[in-house]
Structure formats: C-alpha cells, structure tokens
C-alpha cells in the first residue's frame, strides 16, 4: 500500500457499497449489497438503467460513475461492467478514493491489468478480484482437506466447465471469460504455480473468439493439470477433481457437493500378480457442508480488507494479474501450437513477492 493510503473507514458505521454494471453478474452483486446486511447500499451505475429490476429504489440507479459520486461517495464499489470497460471504470473510482473489487478477469490483457494495479496502488486504496469460485463451499473444503494431507501427495488437478453459450458475452472468448476461473483454481488447489501449459482451441460459432479450450500443464512440484472449458455443451457441468496417492476428491460446484473416493486394497493369492499392486475402489464419502452464498462470502472478505483486517480472505490483484497472464499464455500456445513455459510468481496484497497462503500461490507470468 502506498504512503498516501486512504484511511480505514470508521469501524462504528457500516460500509457503503455500490456496484458498477447491472448485467448478469452486477445484478447479483446489487442484490447481495442490498440484502446481506454487510453494507448499506450506495447505488448502482448502468447507462441502460435497471433492466433486470435488481435495485429496490430507482433513485439509487445512476447513469454514470460521476453522478454516483456526486450523490455521495461510497466506501467500496464492485466493478461488474464488461471486461473491456474494467480499466476506465476502476480508474474513475480509485481517483475518488473508492476501494474496488473488480470482477474477473481483471482486464483484457496483462498490460492493462498491470496499468489497473498501478493506478490502485498509486491511489492508496484497496483492490481485489472477483474470482468467486474460490468462495464456493465445496472448493474451500476440498482445498482445506488437500492442503491438510488427506490425499497425501497430489498427482493431478482436473477441471471441467462446460455449458451452453451465455448471451451476455460480447467482448471475450471462453478462455478469458470462463477458463480464468480454472487457471486460477488449479494452482490454488494444487499447491503451486503453473510452470508449463499447452492448449488447443476451437472456433465453432462464427465469432472472432474461441468457443472451446483444452489445456494441459504442470505445476511446481510436478503435479499435472487439465482444464476443459466450452460454451458448446447442451448441459452445464462444473466439476473439479484432485487426485492423490490416497484417493480422489471431487467437487461439483453447481450443487456445492464434495465427495471423497478412497483408494482400496484387494489382496491376492495369485503369486504372479501379487507384485502388481494397483489401486482399487475403496469407500466413498459425500461430506455434509455448511453452504453459504459465494458472493456473500466474497463481499465479507473484501469488506474485511477495506477495514484493514490483516487476515482478510480475498483474491489479490497479483493473483488476478496471474490469471490474465495465464489466459494470454493459453491463447498464445493455441495459436503457436507450442508449449508455453511460465515463471511462477507470488504477490501479496502489498505488491511484494514471496507471498503467504492468504496471498495465494497460483500466480504465473508467461515467457
């Protein structure tokens, strides 16, 4: 944080929160800001108005960020406009001293993401990135169990994110819109940054952007990963698997279910096969989880960061940049048909390297 950092808000009053953009994600953010009891609602910005009926009071819908600020500066704002507009919206907000949670992906390109981060640092405000999958209860519990050693050595992380085309998309392809979730998750769950990746894409919908991507790669420490993402499938699939020496954890993030498939052992009296000790099916356990809405958990973490709490759980700007870097590497790999090598980095919320668990490990810069 810069020397001119904005002072933490008065702890005796609730934070005033706003949302910029009332599209598919913004309308859900508006609902949480108004109903969760975590913030008081300062308003929403959308030049097209409240077309989804997300705001209870029409007087709190503004056509521009400037008009929102003139009505009364919020403490924090969620930037949920199309990716191509993230930088301009964030620059206007942070110049006014507003803390910003920017929806993922942080920006269209690594260069624009770095410009955005530099502006936030220079303004002395807090920033974070809305990788909301990290707040899914099934993935939180999967990570806790994996890092706690339940699987032993982790061999492989696999993600699938499949479904029909989302009509809201106009400015990016499947890599930046959806695969940025998974490129962030594989290192966060696998315990190390991405070191190499190779990707294949397909264009099937007569758009300039890709509709399908398949990525294979390796993390620090040798764990491998695969990521399959498309918006061509007629059914929605959201599944994450982590395979280790003691079994496999499978998270369904649509239902927030987590299941453990333990390795089993079958004894053999056949001498010639006794040395071929493979893995067989063991016990299967589906865990009972406390389920809280991920957007609410994300908002609580960001509010804690704005209030200056050291242990606030957020996705840092550096981690958001890493996901954009990796998405760029995926597209370059698909275009060149070559494996891309990645230099893992770690950045805490103060911009330092060497990070902690709170700062995250899933960063990478392609080279």
For 73-102, what is the mean pLDDT? 97
Q: How far apart are CA 90 and CA 125, in angstroms?
A: 11
% helix, strand, coil for the chain, step of 5: 30, 25, 40
E strands, the chain, in order:
15-20, 39-45, 61-62, 76-79, 99-103, 127-130, 154-162, 194-202, 212-219, 224-230, 237-244, 247-252, 257-264, 280-286, 340-343, 365-366
Percent of the chain residues topping a pLDDT of 90: 79
> Under a CB-based contact definition with an 8 Å cutoff, are residues 28 and 12 in contact?
no
| Whole-number average pLDDT of the chain | 89
pLDDT exceeds 60 at position 171 = yes
> What residues does 39 pair with on adjacent strands?
15
| pLDDT confidence bin for 172, thresholds 50/70/90 | confident
Pick the more confident residue, 351 or 323. 323
Cα angle for residues 354, 360, 361 (degrees, 5° grid): 70
pLDDT value for 366: 53
| pLDDT confidence bin for 343, thresholds 50/70/90 | confident
pLDDT exceeds 60 at position 275 = no
pLDDT value for 49: 96
Q: How far apart are CA 324 and CA 216, in angstroms?
A: 17
**CA nearest 314: which of 306, 322, 324?**
306
Pick the more confident residue, 21 or 363. 21
pLDDT exceeds 60 at position 315 = yes
> Under a CB-based contact definition with an 8 Å cutoff, are residues 339 and 327 in contact?
no
- Rounded to two decimals, the pTM is 0.88
pLDDT value for 327: 97
Pick the more confident residue, 8 or 13. 13
pLDDT exceeds 90 at position 226 = yes
CATH of 15-125, one of 3.40.50.1970, 2.60.15.10, 3.40.50.720, 1.10.1740.10: 3.40.50.720
Q: Where are the domains of the chain?
A: 15-125, 137-291+320-366
pLDDT exceeds 60 at position 1 = no
pLDDT value for 347: 56
| pLDDT confidence bin for 277, thresholds 50/70/90 | low
pLDDT exceeds 80 at position 208 = yes
pLDDT value for 367: 52
For 25-30, what is the mean pLDDT? 96
Q: How far apart are CA 179 and CA 336, in angstroms?
A: 19
DSSP-derived pairing of the beta strands 194-202 and 154-162: unpaired
Cα diameter, the chain: 82
The separation between CA 300 and the C-alpha centre of its own chain, rounded to angstroms, equals 16
pLDDT value for 12: 67
Collapsing DSSP to helix, strand or coil, 91 comes out as helix
Q: How far apart are CA 290 and CA 256, in angstroms?
A: 9
pLDDT exceeds 60 at position 179 = yes
Q: Return the residue matching tokens 């294979």.
A: 216
- CATH superfamily, domain 137-291+320-366, is Dihydrodipicolinate Reductase; domain 2 (3.30.360.10)
pLDDT exceeds 50 at position 254 = yes
């Amino acid at each position: 944080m810069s020397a001119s950092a904005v002072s933490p808000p008065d702890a005796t009053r609730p934070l005033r929160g706003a949302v910029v953009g009332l599209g598919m994600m913004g309308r859900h953010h508006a609902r949480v800001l108004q109903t969760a009891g975590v913030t008081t609602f300062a308003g929403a910005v959308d030049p097209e108005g409240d077309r989804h009926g997300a705001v209870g009071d029409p007087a709190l819908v503004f056509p521009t960020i400037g008009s929102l600020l003139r009505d009364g500066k919020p403490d924090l704002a969620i930037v949920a406009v199309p990716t191509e507009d993230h930088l301009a919206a964030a620059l206007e907000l942070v110049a006014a001293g507003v803390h910003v949670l920017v929806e993922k992906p942080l920006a269209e390109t690594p260069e624009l993401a770095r410009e955005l981060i530099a502006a936030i640092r220079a303004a002395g405000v807090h920033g974070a990135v809305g990788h909301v999958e990290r707040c899914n209860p099934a993935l939180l519990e999967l990570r806790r169990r994996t890092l706690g050693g339940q699987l032993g050595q982790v061999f492989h992380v696999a993600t699938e994110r499949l479904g029909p085309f989302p009509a809201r998309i106009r400015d990016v392809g499947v890599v930046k819109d959806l695969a940025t979730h998974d490129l962030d998750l594989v290192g966060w769950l696998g315990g190390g940054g991405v070191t190499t990746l190779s990707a294949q894409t397909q264009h099937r919908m007569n758009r300039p952007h890709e509709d399908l991507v398949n990525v294979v790669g390796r993390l620090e420490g040798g764990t491998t990963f695969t990521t399959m993402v498309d918006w061509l499938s007629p059914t929605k699939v959201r599944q994450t698997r982590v395979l280790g020496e003691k079994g496999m954890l499978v998270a369904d993030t649509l239902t927030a279910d987590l299941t453990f498939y333990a390795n089993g052992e079958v004894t053999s009296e056949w001498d010639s096969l006794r040395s071929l000790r493979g893995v067989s099916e063991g016990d299967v356990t589906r865990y009972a989880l406390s389920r809280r809405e991920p957007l609410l958990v994300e908002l609580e973490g960001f509010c804690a960061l704005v209030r200056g709490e050291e242990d606030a759980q957020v996705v840092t700007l550096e981690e958001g940049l890493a996901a954009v870097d990796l998405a760029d590497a995926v597209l370059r790999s698909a275009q060149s048909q070559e494996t891309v090598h990645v230099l893992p980095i770690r950045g805490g919320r103060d911009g330092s390297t060497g990070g902690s668990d709170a700062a995250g490990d899933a960063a990478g810069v392609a080279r």
